[in-house]
Amino acid sequence: MNKYFTLVFVALSMVVLSSCNRKAPEVESKPLLEVEGKFLYLDDLEQVIPANVNKKDSTEIAQSYIRKWITDVLMYENAKRNITNQAEIDELVEDYRKTLTIHQYQQKMIVQRLPKEPTEEELKAFYDQYSEQLVLKENIIKGLLLVVPTKAPKLSNVRSWVQSGNTKSLESIEKYSIQNAISYDYFGDKWIPFTDILKKIPIQIEDPANFISSNRFIETSDSLKHYFLRIESFSKIGEVEPYEMAKVRIVNILMNKHKADFISNFEKELYNDAIKDETVTFFK
């Protein structure tokens, strides 16, 4: 066994033993191997091995990590010895460091100085001003869908409850569904795409927009299930998106705008202050 495989074998043995017997970390980490002046430590290897993994998997994970670590070190050191444009790389690294540092600073300032979300007044003002751009690309509905076995009890009562849709009926449906329903989806308080409902009921519709405009109660069945659908409200493709549905998107739009405005104004302020304070020196 050559020196490389001897080192790897010893390293794997130490890691597998450590992973099987977890204990408090030592003050000084033990080096497992060295390549080109770079050291791989026991602590580094332990961090990539999940707890409670078996001996075989621990060995495979450790072996793969060691091989990749050694290869990366060798590749990097060989590259440094053979490239001729180190100055260009250093410049690119410095540009990236500058960009990343500025970005981190801007994000910190945004968190400190900007409110977390626009006000309700701002959201509604945006919705009113740009409503023609907030157009639905799919039909949406509010309502409920109840699916029961074909031989479920009291179907006439269920039919009446779903058709009614009042508070008392909803309570009855809720109680009934606990023992008898295959599924019960109540979405009377939120908009959902009508296509999501069509995936759950066995009906074919040629004109969905006209269908939801013309129907409030739909009842159908197949060999195993009975379906009751109540449409409380609807909005069709091409219409303005309801405010409560558009609100999330508007929040993101306004937050991004506020961030961009804040950064732009901050940069201008920084520049103007530097000119005023004569931090910048112009040479004639």
Dump pLDDT digits (tens) for 61-83: 999 999 999 999 999 999 988 88
Verify that 127 and 211 share a domain, yes or no. no
On whether both 252 and 123 belong to a single domain, the answer is yes
Q: Give the count of beta carbons closer than 10 Å to the beta carbon of residue 147.
A: 20
Query: Do 221 and 170 have their domain in common?
Result: yes
Q: How many domains does the chain have?
A: 3
Which residues share a beta bridge with 219? Answer: 228
The Cα–Cα gap between 202 and 194 comes to 14
Give residue 58's domain range. Answer: 3-82
Looking at the structure, tell me whether residues 252 and 126 fall in a common domain: yes
Domain co-membership, 7 together with 127: no
Beta pairing, strands 183-193 & 38-41: unpaired
Do 170 and 219 sit in the same domain of this protein?
yes
74 and 147 both lie in a single domain: no
pTM over cut 0.75? no
Give average pLDDT by consecutive 10-residue segment, the chain, 284 residues: 49 52 54 90 88 86 92 92 88 94 93 87 95 94 96 95 94 95 95 95 93 95 95 96 93 93 93 89 82
Whether 182 and 230 map to the same domain: the answer is yes
Which tens digits make up the pLDDT trace of 135-153?
Answer: 999 999 999 999 999 999 9
Question: Residue 56's closest CA among 8, 18, 16, 11?
Answer: 16
